[in-house]
Amino acid sequence: MSDRKIRVLIAKPGLDGHDRGAKTVATVLRDAGMEVIYTGLHQTPEMIAEAALQEDVDVVGLSILSGAHMSLFPRIREALKARDMGDVLLTGGGIIPEDDMAALEADGFSKLFGPGTRTTDIVAWIEGAVKERWAREEA
């Protein structure tokens, strides 16, 4: 049906308290016509996965500026899988070194976005990836 909207959970896991980027991305996605659930700071992987389940989102976007990305991303993916939400697009951004980004993407994570990313690129990528996911669901 044409009424379907892209639903995105924007979350900040762990201890870092810098949420300017997360709020900017949340606003940009809203202005692109998406429904964005913002959960606030200091979320545990379990809380993020539980919120993703309750909200039935298509995308989970993480903002990580603390350097803990190599541990947090996989833990959140496991928590999502444990809730039968393994097919949700898991993406994010922050201060993530290129090597780590490549390692995470090689490990099957969705695209990650570093500093300087154009917001229009984030919107375009999410729209494309979600529509592919919906097409797979229909099939």
In the complex with other proteins, the residue whose CB is nearer, 29 or 62, is: 29
Contact call for residue 133 and other proteins (CB under 8 A): no
Cα-based distances in Å from 26 to 12, 15, 135: 12, 20, 25
Q: How far is the CB of 98 from other proteins (least distance, A)?
A: 31
Candidate residues 17, 24, 33, 71; the one interacting with other proteins per rule CB under 8 A = 33
Q: Is 46 in the site for other proteins (CB under 8 A)?
A: yes
Alpha helix segments (H runs only) across the chain: 20-31, 45-55, 69-81, 98-106, 119-138
Residue 32 Cβ vs other proteins, minimum distance, rounded to whole Å: 6
DSSP state of 67: S
Q: Estimate to the nearest angstrom the gap between the alpha carbon of 114 and the chain centroid.
A: 13
Task: Give residues in contact with other proteins (CB under 8 A).
Answer: 1, 3-5, 7, 26-27, 29-40, 46-47, 50-51, 53-56, 83-85
